[in-house]
């Protein structure tokens, strides 16, 4: 029984039309579908908007067998919020407060991440929290992958094609990661707010948090001959 992390992110908002315009016009996302709510493509990620009371982002775990996944998640300490079965909403909350939908998806089924398109969006989600180490260790257990400590003190756990990254900070809650060269000033001008005491985390008008990766450290120096 193995889990993968899905590139799908769910968000509920009472202002569906305003959110649609924001993500399309300000965030340059492509509207993919309007069958049930709205689906936007953000590079490798898919953002699903549904009408309703404002809430936190909902991430998604993929599992080859939904019944086995349900038993395993209970064993790990997830709280079951709602469970409707195959092809429907199955929401669980982890011991740290993150909410995931659980979707049955074959181990051999590929995920199209649209990686050929250059974008500011990364195939990484996760959380900013006071103590990222225990969260990373927990997901290392769930995903059966190592938790790698990065140079900035954050932890990265591979979930297959999509990874989870956990970083210490005051902007407590789920985040979606942006590339280090994301146009932060333009995003703020477009309606995002920088979190107080943590300018690398932005909150959009509909409650979704975006964490900007730190610039990679140089691994070598360029020396010009005299």
Tens digit of each residue's pLDDT (9 = 90 or more) over 23-46: 999 999 999 877 778 999 999 999
- Where does 4-104 sit in CATH, by number? 3.10.180.10
The whole-angstrom separation of Cα 135 and Cα 142 is 11
The ranges assigned to domains in the chain are: 4-104, 121-212
Residue 217 clears pLDDT 80, i.e. is over it: no
Say whether pLDDT at 108 is over 90: no
pLDDT at residue number 65: 95
What is the spatial distance between Cα 13 and Cα 11, in angstroms, rounded to a whole number? 7
Q: What are the beta bridge partners of residue 63?
A: 104
Domains 4-104 and 121-212 share a fold: yes
Of 2-11, 78-87, 164-173, 175-184, the least confident = 164-173
pLDDT in tens, 147-173: 999 999 999 999 999 999 999 998 789
pLDDT digits 0-9 by tens, 194-204: 988 788 899 99
| Whether residue 57 has pLDDT greater than 80 | yes
Give dist(CA 156, CA 214) in Å, integer: 14
Domain with residues 121-212, CATH architecture: Roll (3.10)
CA pseudo-torsion sign 174, 187, 169, 162: positive
| Tokens 């300018």, located at residue | 199
pLDDT of residue 215: 80
pTM: 0.91
Band of pLDDT at residue 115, cut at 50, 70 and 90: low
Scan for tokens 């190592």, then name that residue. Answer: 146
Looking up tokens 């995002």 gives 192
Q: How many helices (H) and strands (E) does the chain have?
A: 4, 17
Q: For residue 118, what are the contacts with CB-CB under 8 A and spacing of at least 6?
A: none
């Amino acid at each position: 029984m193995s889990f993968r992390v899905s590139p799908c992110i769910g968000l509920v908002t009472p202002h569906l039309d305003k959110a649609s315009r924001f993500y399309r016009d300000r965030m340059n996302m492509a509207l993919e579908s309007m069958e049930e709510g709205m689906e936007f493509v953000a590079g490798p990620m898919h953002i699903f908007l549904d009408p309703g009371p404002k809430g936190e982002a909902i991430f998604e775990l993929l599992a080859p067998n939904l019944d086995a996944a349900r038993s395993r998640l209970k064993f790990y300490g997830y709280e079951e919020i709602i469970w409707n079965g195959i092809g429907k909403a199955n929401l669980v909350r982890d011991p740290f407060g993150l909410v995931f939908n659980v979707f049955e998806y074959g181990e051999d089924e590929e995920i199209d991440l649209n990686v050929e398109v250059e974008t500011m969006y990364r195939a990484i989600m996760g959380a900013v929290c006071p103590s990222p180490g225990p969260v990373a260790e927990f997901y290392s257990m769930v995903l059966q992958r190592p938790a790698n400590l990065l140079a900035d003190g954050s932890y990265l756990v591979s979930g297959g094609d999509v990874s989870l990254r956990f970083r210490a900070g005051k902007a407590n809650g789920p985040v979606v990661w942006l590339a280090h060269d994301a146009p932060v000033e333009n995003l703020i001008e477009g309606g995002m707010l920088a979190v107080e005491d943590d300018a690398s985390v932005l909150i959009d008008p509909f409650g979704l948090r975006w964490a900007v990766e730190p610039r990679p450290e140089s691994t070598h120096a360029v020396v010009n001959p005299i």
